[in-house]
């Protein structure tokens, strides 16, 4: 057998040489796009890496925007993923304030909003997700805000410091985290939506626990309603709800979800609640890849395609996509993971519990320290831990295994040793 067929170092050299002169374009300078650019360089790709972002800020982390940055506890510079000189030092052509307007996959050319054109060899769609608007009368009044970008956060932070009565519309993660931060700043807060806090992700039992946490911190919870109108003379003064009730407020923050930014490739690639990809972040079109909030990817471990809106997912999928682009196929097959901080409650969720039939609680939620195991046919699908980081790490080993609920509940048994007992 020839040596070259077995020698990875030699293979790598040949690949890098052949990559020189290639142009890999990444659309979206968020976490997924940044991670991909970083890994392209870490893996030794020597062609051009172009990273286009329509925001004017360099890539940054979004999670602090509803947490410590919103409360002013974290400086603005600490939200950025890298120091400003990182991009130049690694020959990553970061182009900010640049919106890609069109793509022609047959010619492998993209067109910027300003009209200029760029040819590419491979293209990564890391365009993330865009805010869902609330389309009710009065939606365009002043004082109705959304939170997705660092600029949104800075504006909202300034307003919260004036201690307004904030109405938060939407009881998902963003709504709940903003409610917590606004209370911590000292604002009067009403949190309103059709469901209890986080019900769509955590289920009924845990949403009741989170409802009690928020109420305990002084949040006025208004559930079972949708917003039907906003009223005010130029600036929002009152919200009207589906049950006919009203709430007076100085500021509204809308957090009713996001939709994947797929428009650019909608005519070209398969879309179904996001850009469909395989476990290597490949779309059905040669040379086009997708990662992060925009991607609906096949997860071999779960046996389903899923579009996840989590930090960990965006980071790791960006890395997977970069490796696939240079021909290093490593399936993206990690356990889904996300976290949420509200007040002193640090939640960590591992797994996916779409089809769970029961929930077993270990610990006492009222003390703010517990783990919830989501089961289906006695197997553990997911674990959600609050203020139990080590337990959540140990519990990840139990996913997809059958463990008797009595053992899960028994706090005298170390979760990490459950397989041994």
Q: 30 or 47, CB closer to ligand FAD?
A: 30
Cβ at position 52, least distance to ligand FAD in Å = 5
Q: Comparing C-alpha atoms, which of 146, 147, 191, 130 is closest to residue 166?
A: 191
Cβ at position 20, least distance to ligand FAD in Å = 26
Taken in order 312, 315, 316, 317, is the CA torsion positive or negative? positive
Asked if 357 contacts 380 with a C-beta cutoff of 8 angstroms, the reply is no
Q: 33 or 203, CB closer to ligand FAD?
A: 33
End-to-end CA distance of the chain: 50
Cβ at position 17, least distance to ligand FAD in Å = 31
Q: 348 or 381, CB closer to ligand FAD?
A: 348
Q: 130 or 416, CB closer to ligand FAD?
A: 130
Q: 32 or 380, CB closer to ligand FAD?
A: 32
Q: Quote the DSSP letter at residue 106.
A: T
Length of the chain, in residues? 421
Cβ at position 349, least distance to ligand FAD in Å = 9
DSSP string across 235-275: B--EEEETTS-EEE-SEEEE---EEE--GGGTTTS-BSSSE
Cβ at position 64, least distance to ligand FAD in Å = 8
Using alpha carbons only, give the angle 288, 293, 294 rounded to the nearest 5 degrees.
Answer: 40
Cβ at position 95, least distance to ligand FAD in Å = 9
State residue 111 phi and psi, 5-degree precision.
-120, 130
Asked if 279 contacts 295 with a C-beta cutoff of 8 angstroms, the reply is no
How far is CA 331 from each of CA 36, 179, 316, rounded to the nearest angstrom? 15, 38, 11
3-state class percentages of the chain: helix first, strand second, coil last, to nearest 5: 30, 30, 40
Interface ranges with ligand FAD (CB under 6 A): 27-33, 52-55, 62-63, 65-66, 99-100, 126-129, 147-148, 174, 261, 264, 292-293, 309-312, 314, 338-340
Q: 240 or 281, CB closer to ligand FAD?
A: 281
Q: 32 or 381, CB closer to ligand FAD?
A: 32
Q: Comparing C-alpha atoms, which of 54, 32, 341 is closest to residue 174?
A: 341
Cβ at position 307, least distance to ligand FAD in Å = 10
How far is CA 245 from each of CA 178, 217, 241, rounded to the nearest angstrom? 23, 23, 5
How far is CA 306 from each of CA 87, 123, 270, rounded to the nearest angstrom? 31, 21, 14
Q: 326 or 348, CB closer to ligand FAD?
A: 348
Q: 56 or 284, CB closer to ligand FAD?
A: 56
Cβ at position 341, least distance to ligand FAD in Å = 7
Cβ at position 413, least distance to ligand FAD in Å = 29
Asked if 350 contacts 331 with a C-beta cutoff of 8 angstroms, the reply is no
Strand partners, 123: 25, 288
């Amino acid at each position: 057998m020839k040596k070259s067929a077995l020698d990875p170092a030699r293979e790598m050299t040949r690949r890098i040489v052949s990559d020189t002169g290639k142009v890999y374009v990444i659309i979206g300078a968020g976490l997924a796009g940044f991670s991909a650019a970083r890994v392209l360089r870490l893996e030794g790709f020597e062609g051009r890496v172009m990273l286009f972002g329509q925001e004017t800020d360099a890539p940054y982390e979004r999670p602090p925007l509803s947490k410590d940055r919103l409360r002013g506890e974290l400086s603005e510079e600490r939200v950025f993923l890298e120091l400003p000189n990182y991009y130049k030092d690694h020959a990553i052509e970061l182009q900010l304030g640049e919106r890609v307007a069109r793509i022609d996959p047959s010619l492998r050319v993209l067109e910027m909003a300003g009209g200029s054109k760029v040819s590419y060899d491979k293209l990564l769609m890391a365009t993330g997700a865009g805010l869902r608007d609330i389309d009710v009368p009065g939606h365009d009044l002043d004082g109705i805000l959304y939170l997705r970008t660092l600029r949104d956060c800075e504006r909202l932070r300034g307003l919260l410091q004036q201690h307004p009565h904030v109405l938060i519309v939407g009881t998902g993660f963003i709504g709940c985290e903003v409610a917590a931060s606004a209370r911590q700043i000292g604002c009067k807060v009403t949190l309103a939506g059709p469901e209890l806090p986080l019900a769509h992700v955590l289920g009924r039992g845990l949403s009741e626990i989170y409802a009690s946490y928020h109420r305990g911190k002084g949040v006025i919870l208004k559930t079972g309603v949708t917003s039907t109108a906003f009223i005010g003379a130029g600036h929002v003064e009152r919200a009207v709800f589906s049950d006919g009730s009203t709430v007076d407020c100085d500021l509204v923050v809308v957090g009713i979800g996001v939709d994947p930014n797929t428009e650019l490739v909608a005519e070209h690639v398969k879309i179904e609640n996001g850009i469909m990809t395989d476990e290597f972040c490949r779309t059905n079109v040669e040379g086009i890849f997708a990662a992060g909030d925009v991607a609906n990817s096949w997860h071999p471990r779960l046996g389903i395609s899923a579009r996840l809106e989590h930090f960990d997912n965006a980071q790791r999928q960006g890395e997977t996509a970069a490796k696939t682009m240079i021909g290093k196929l490593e399936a993206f097959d990690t356990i889904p993971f996300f976290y949420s901080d509200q007040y002193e409650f640090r939640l960590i969720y591992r797994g996916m519990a779409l089809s769970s039939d029961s929930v077993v609680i270990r610990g006492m939620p009222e003390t703010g320290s517990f783990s919830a195991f989501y089961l289906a046919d006695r197997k553990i699908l997911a674990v959600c831990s609050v203020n139990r980081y080590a337990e959540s790490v140990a519990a990840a080993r139990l996913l997809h295994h059958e463990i008797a609920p009595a053992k899960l509940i028994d706090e005298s048994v170390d979760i990490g040793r459950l397989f041994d007992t």
